[in-house]
């Protein structure tokens, strides 16, 4: 990479291009990120046509806009001719209107019509990630004719490894893998070899559900049907991997009390980013005052035994962490399909047992620590330790139950996120703490 | 499914089997989970051989052990003959020793040798998820001979869509897709068509790095080489999807202060589960006493203005949440490769700006809320609101910097998990709070 920069500086473009044209498009796209806008545009123009399209499809939105604004209509046509159909749609989904216009002017009238149809599919639908570049066969084709057909039409297809068998009205009759075609006799007929009960999705299906099908059935691609069961596209596994990753990212964001977003961090403005975080922080800030009010309610106790205040942060944090452990486990388990609704009772009984072991252990450790290192009385140590124990048990049960309730109510369990659970558990922990203090340290102590 | 249960109860096994044999193995595996042990074993014996192996490979560990213990050696041989090689290795990795022995007795001596070699690969290495069932070609094969070879050997291969070109010493010379073979002239030679600079991994490579290659280069499979660059296996995308999901799960667990595990929740014992949670809870409990000590240090302030205590939970929670937002964003961004080391300064400047917007907004809201609803004085409201503002800014910067530092130090950023950041921020928030109280409410106030 150092060498390339050297070649560029010395304007030895010919040598530079020879080297670049030898790279994989994914590596080039990464290299291009390192360049400034002008360098990027100059070098991009020097790439082979196919490679240029490949690199382009892997660039960030901003870089794509810069490039399209910098090249001629002819250049745009070259670029588009090498792009897969679904990449074209992706591109147009994200572009500012004036750039999108410039792009659309350079596709054929027919293609423009289909692209515009595809642009209408909702953002998280199967329709918005499908491509029209698949191989279709007819039931009456022989294997040898099917192979001939694949050879003739396959070059520009996203995949040829699964072919789709349709009738004259484009209704899906079945699917057949290239493996089955290759393995069969030349005279065999597609209709006899195909899998009739093929798994398919609808344009309006949610992308996450489609991803779940890929995982369950180990698919490489899936046919997408309209509401009259006509084949209008396919979804391939490379796009599904992106969906799986976005899904995980969404859950991470929600559990950290942020609105989920598919936008790129670097190209999103400061105020949009701030907005996505303020709402939840505000909700949680206000709900944390509940905890504050509990402290306010028991102020007389704290006045009499101010040393009790010292343990409040530890109790709050331990409860919050213990609850977050359980809720994370359940939320993730449900997200990847490992935990089903019928497991509810099994989970609760297991979490109860785990919480007893964890609670007793940490309660004892805490008791010893307070006696030995904090120099407090046995009754204070006892108050704190019993609170630790009870808080952990309650926190784990709350953390397990809330996501399950959320799902039953049709809400996203990740939305009932860790911080919200924390607030609930904080309140529980403090109520326990002060009431135990009253019982163990004796009401008389606080009378004066 | 209701019908199936009815058929079972009436012991109309023949009809039941006819129906079951028509299902997809993934659906059957799900159906089998609903059954009790005896039902499962009875129905399993009634399945077609190939289907039985497919269903078996998708069962949970416990169910697999039950089955193997229940069937004869002959049954085990049938079962194994239908299993993919990597599924056999998976199975043996997870079985109790006596069951593994029973399985190994029923594979050929040769296969046992290879399986034992594969079992030696470390748990998260590329070696442990590869399979030996790939198609290998020689450089001098013509396309028509290559196709003949694929037809002859391909049936039992995990994939035939990418073929691997090796020399007589099994060194990898290149890869060639079935698409390129199909599209080429029959007389063309494999060596001329193949991709020489093919992407490959080593047996000892980390699975997560392998997954990153699949995502970057849109691969369907990748060749695995030993240290002498000899081809010894391939990894296919279906196994990589599992890796991507496990990776996400690990990060979720770590960020919720749990030890990551690949074990199944339901089949892990209560004490093992408890152990995975106690260690981090204990660390965090002890570190939360730091926060407690800060409160202890400023006890005289609290004694004079006990109402300040009421705002402690809100300050701690808001700081923790604001920090968790930033750290989650960075940790996830790094995990999926969207945030690189060179972005560090860009991130810090962006997070600083975002934190200023968020901090000012929440500071003002808080000020108004305290004046209007809590009936506190302007100076208390000011103390709390400035603390909110400063805490949010510090929390977001800490939350962004810590994961980056962790990664530079070669640690897993998810390990510097949200709760640990919370503890640091809690301490910062309280120190700010009490010092601001001293400044704004006036040292004289606390003198008496």
For B251-265, write each residue's pLDDT tens digit.
888 888 787 776 778
CATH number, domain of B437, equals 1.10.357.20
Residues 6+ apart with CB under 8 A from B270: A350, A353, A354, A357
Q: Are residues A343 and A438 in the same domain?
A: yes
Asked whether residue B274 is assigned to any structural domain, the reply reads yes
- The conformation of residue B203, written as its DSSP 8-state character, comes to T
Is residue A73 a contact partner of residue A103, using CB atoms and an 8 Å limit?
Answer: no
A-chain residues near B299 (CB < 8 A) = 306-307, 309
User: Residue for token digits 């920090």?
Assistant: B323
Name which of A343, A336, A329, A344 is nearest A396 in CA terms. Answer: A329
Distance CA B322, CA B331 (A): 14
Are A26 and B216 inside 8 Å of each other by CB?
yes
Q: Are residues B110 and B141 in the same domain?
A: no
Q: Mark which of A194, A210, A236 sits at the end of a domain.
A: A236
Are A264 and B289 inside 8 Å of each other by CB?
no
A-chain residues near B425 (CB < 8 A) = none
Of B249, B280, B313, the CB nearest to A332: B249
Asked whether residue B64 is assigned to any structural domain, the reply reads yes
And the tokens for A398? 């709350």
DSSP for B341-382, please give it. GGGHHHHHHHHHHHHHHHHHHHHHHHHHHIIIII---HHHHH
User: Residue for token digits 């403090």?
Assistant: A430
Distance CA A71, CA A77 (A): 10
Of A160, A183, A281, the CB nearest to B154: A183
Helix locations, B82-206, DSSP H: 85-94, 97-104, 109-119, 143-153, 178-183, 190-193
Count of alpha carbons within 13 angstroms of residue A412, beta-carbon side: 16
Question: With the C-alpha atoms ordered A392, A393, A399, A400, is the resulting torsion angle positive or negative?
Answer: positive
Asked whether residue B252 is assigned to any structural domain, the reply reads no
Q: Are residues B287 and B167 in the same domain?
A: no
Mutate to test the interface with B, among A313, A353, A385, A446 (most CBs of B within 10 A): A313
Q: Are residues A438 and A309 in the same domain?
A: yes
Is residue B413 a contact partner of residue B326, using CB atoms and an 8 Å limit?
Answer: no
Asked whether residue B57 is assigned to any structural domain, the reply reads yes
Q: Are residues A418 and A346 in the same domain?
A: yes
Name which of B282, B33, B273, B232 is nearest B130 in CA terms. Answer: B232
Name which of B361, B340, B348 is nearest B407 in CA terms. Answer: B340
pLDDT over 80 at A418, yes or no? no
Asked whether residue A249 is assigned to any structural domain, the reply reads no
Q: Mark which of B237, B256, B282 sits at the end of a domain.
A: B237
- Would an 8 Å CB–CB cutoff place A395 in contact with chain B? no
Distance from A9 to chain B by nearest Cα, in Å? 22
Are B253 and A361 inside 8 Å of each other by CB?
no
- Would an 8 Å CB–CB cutoff place A367 in contact with chain B? no
Distance CA A137, CA A142 (A): 10
Are B362 and A282 inside 8 Å of each other by CB?
yes
Q: Are residues A291 and A156 in the same domain?
A: no
Torsion of CA A281, A283, A286, A288, to 10 degrees: -70
Are A322 and B273 inside 8 Å of each other by CB?
no
CATH number, domain of A144, equals 3.10.580.10
Q: Give the chain B residue nearest A23 (alpha carbons).
A: B197
Tell which B residues from 287 to 316 touch A, by Cβ distance under 8 Å: 288-289, 291-293, 295-296, 299, 302-303, 306-307, 309-314, 316
Is residue A396 a contact partner of residue A325, using CB atoms and an 8 Å limit?
Answer: yes
Are A426 and B264 inside 8 Å of each other by CB?
no
- Would an 8 Å CB–CB cutoff place B322 in contact with chain A? yes
Asked whether residue B263 is assigned to any structural domain, the reply reads no
Helix locations, A21-119, DSSP H: 25-34, 37-46, 49-57, 61-70, 73-81, 85-94, 97-104, 109-119
Tell which A residues from 108 to 147 touch B, by Cβ distance under 8 Å: 147
Asked whether residue B260 is assigned to any structural domain, the reply reads no
Q: How many CB pairs under 8 A join A and B?
A: 308
Pairing relationship of beta strands B172-177 and B201-202 according to DSSP bridges: unpaired
Distance from A199 to chain B by nearest Cα, in Å? 10
pLDDT of residue B448: 43
Phi, psi of A172 (to 5 degrees): -75, 120
The neighbour count for residue B237, using CB atoms within 10 Å, is 22
Question: With the C-alpha atoms ordered B1, B2, B3, B8, is the resulting torsion angle positive or negative?
Answer: positive
Are B422 and A286 inside 8 Å of each other by CB?
no
- Would an 8 Å CB–CB cutoff place B345 in contact with chain A? no
- Would an 8 Å CB–CB cutoff place A248 in contact with chain B? yes
Q: Are residues B368 and B283 in the same domain?
A: yes
Question: With the C-alpha atoms ordered A322, A323, A324, A328, is the resulting torsion angle positive or negative?
Answer: positive
Are B419 and A320 inside 8 Å of each other by CB?
yes
Phi, psi of B101 (to 5 degrees): -60, -45
Distance CA B408, CA B404 (A): 6
Q: Are residues A142 and A112 in the same domain?
A: no
Number of helical (H) and strand (E) elements in chain A, helices listed first:
22, 6
Q: Are residues B72 and B180 in the same domain?
A: no
For B241-296, write each residue's pLDDT tens digit.
999 998 888 888 888 878 777 677 877 888 888 888 888 888 888 888 888 888 88
Name which of A182, A235, A242, A185 is nearest A210 in CA terms. Answer: A235
Distance CA A210, CA A195 (A): 19
The neighbour count for residue B151, using CB atoms within 10 Å, is 13
CATH number, domain of A99, equals 1.25.60.10
Are A333 and B265 inside 8 Å of each other by CB?
yes
Q: Mark which of A186, A215, A236 sits at the end of a domain.
A: A236
For B175-200, write each residue's pLDDT tens digit.
999 999 999 999 999 999 999 988 99
Name the β-bridge partners of B171: B230
Is residue B442 a contact partner of residue B377, using CB atoms and an 8 Å limit?
Answer: no
Counting Cβ atoms within 10 Å, is residue B54 exposed (0-12), middle (13-18) or buried (19+)?
A: buried
Q: Are residues A116 and A140 in the same domain?
A: no
Of B26, B199, B244, the CB nearest to A216: B26
Q: Are residues A398 and A350 in the same domain?
A: yes
Distance from A270 to chain B by nearest Cα, in Å? 5
Name which of A31, A59, A58, A26 is nearest A43 in CA terms. Answer: A31
Q: Edge-to-edge, what's the strand order for the sheet holding B162-166? A: B136-137, B162-166, B172-177
Distance CA A407, CA A393 (A): 22
Distance from B147 to chain A by nearest Cα, in Å? 8
Distance CA A56, CA A78 (A): 12
Are B274 and A220 inside 8 Å of each other by CB?
no
Torsion of CA B250, B252, B257, B263, to 10 degrees: -40
Are A220 and B214 inside 8 Å of each other by CB?
no
Number of domain units in chain A: 3
Name which of A415, A412, A406 is nearest A254 in CA terms. Answer: A415
pLDDT 10s per residue in chain B (448 long)? 567 777 777 888 888 888 888 888 888 888 888 888 888 888 888 888 888 988 998 888 888 888 888 888 888 888 888 888 888 888 888 788 888 888 888 888 888 888 888 888 988 899 989 998 999 999 999 999 999 999 999 888 889 999 999 999 999 999 999 999 999 999 999 999 999 988 999 999 999 999 999 999 999 999 999 988 899 999 999 999 999 998 888 888 888 878 777 677 877 888 888 888 888 888 888 888 888 888 888 888 877 777 788 898 899 889 988 998 899 889 888 888 888 888 888 889 999 999 999 999 999 999 999 999 888 889 999 999 999 999 999 999 999 999 988 888 888 888 776 667 888 898 999 999 999 999 988 765 655 4
CA distances from A419 to A163, A288, A414, B98 (A): 48, 10, 11, 46
B174: containing domain:
136-237
Mutate to test the interface with A, among B292, B347, B418, B428 (most CBs of A within 10 A): B292
The helix or strand, by DSSP H or E, that contains position A221, with its residue range, turns out to be strand A221-225
Helix, strand or coil, per DSSP, at residue B131: strand
Are B329 and A285 inside 8 Å of each other by CB?
no
pLDDT of residue B419: 67
Distance from B383 to chain A by nearest Cα, in Å? 16
Q: Are residues B144 and B61 in the same domain?
A: no
Asked whether residue B256 is assigned to any structural domain, the reply reads no
B-chain residues near A430 (CB < 8 A) = 313
Tell which B residues from 153 to 182 touch A, by Cβ distance under 8 Å: 154-155, 160-161, 178-179, 182
Count of alpha carbons within 13 angstroms of residue B292, beta-carbon side: 22
A-chain residues near B324 (CB < 8 A) = 256-257, 419
pLDDT of residue A138: 96
Are A313 and B317 inside 8 Å of each other by CB?
no
- Percent above pLDDT 90 for chain A: 37
And the tokens for B141? 């094969």
Is residue A307 a contact partner of residue A445, using CB atoms and an 8 Å limit?
Answer: no
Distance from A418 to chain B by nearest Cα, in Å? 9
Mutate to test the interface with A, among B317, B364, B373, B421 (most CBs of A within 10 A): B317
């Amino acid at each position: 990479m150092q060498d390339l920069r050297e070649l560029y500086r010395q304007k030895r473009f010919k040598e530079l291009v020879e080297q670049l044209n030898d790279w994989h498009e994914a590596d080039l796209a990464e290299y291009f990120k390192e360049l400034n806008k002008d360098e990027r545009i100059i070098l991009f123009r020097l790439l082979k046509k196919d490679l240029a399209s490949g690199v382009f499809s892997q660039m960030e939105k901003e870089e794509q806009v810069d490039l399209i604004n910098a090249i001629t209509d002819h250049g745009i046509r070259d670029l588009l001719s090498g792009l897969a159909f679904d990449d074209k749609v992706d591109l147009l989904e994200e572009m500012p209107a004036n750039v999108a216009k410039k792009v659309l002017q350079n596709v054929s009238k027919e293609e423009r019509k289909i692209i515009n149809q595809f642009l209408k599919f909702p953002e998280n639908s199967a329709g918005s990630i499908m491509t029209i570049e698949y191989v279709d066969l007819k039931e009456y084709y022989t294997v040898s004719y099917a192979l001939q057909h694949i050879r003739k039409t396959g070059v520009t297809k996203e995949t040829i490894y699964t072919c789709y068998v349709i009738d004259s009205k484009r209704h899906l009759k079945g699917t057949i893998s290239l493996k089955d075609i290759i393995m069969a006799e030349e005279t065999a007929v597609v209709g006899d070899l195909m899998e009739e009960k093929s798994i398919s999705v609808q344009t309006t299906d949610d992308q996450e559900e489609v991803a779940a099908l890929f995982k369950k059935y180990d698919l490489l691609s899936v046919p997408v049907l309209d509401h009259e069961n006509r084949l209008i596209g396919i979804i391939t596994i490379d796009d599904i991997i992106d969906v799986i990753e976005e899904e995980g990212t969404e859950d991470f964001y929600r559990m950290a009390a942020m609105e989920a977003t598919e936008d790129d961090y670097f190209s999103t403005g400061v105020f949009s980013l701030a907005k996505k975080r303020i709402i939840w922080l505000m909700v949680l800030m206000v709900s944390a005052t509940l905890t504050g009010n509990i402290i306010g309610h028991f102020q007389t106790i704290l006045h009499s035994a101010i040393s009790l205040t010292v343990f409040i942060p530890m109790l709050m944090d331990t409860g919050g962490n213990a609850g977050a452990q359980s809720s994370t486990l359940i939320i993730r388990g449900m997200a990847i399909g490992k935990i089903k609704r019928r497991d509810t009772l099994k989970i609760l009984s297991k979490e109860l047992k785990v919480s007893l072991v964890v609670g007793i252990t940490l309660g004892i450790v805490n008791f010893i620590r307070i006696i030995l290192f904090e120099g407090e009385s046995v009754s204070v140590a006892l108050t704190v330790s019993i609170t630790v124990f009870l808080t952990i048990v309650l926190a784990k049960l709350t953390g397990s139950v809330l996501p399950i309730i959320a799902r039953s109510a049709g809400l996203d369990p990740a939305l009932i996120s860790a911080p919200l659970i924390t607030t609930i558990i904080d309140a529980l922990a403090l109520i326990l703490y002060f009431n135990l203090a009253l019982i163990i340290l004796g009401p008389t102590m606080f009378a004066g």
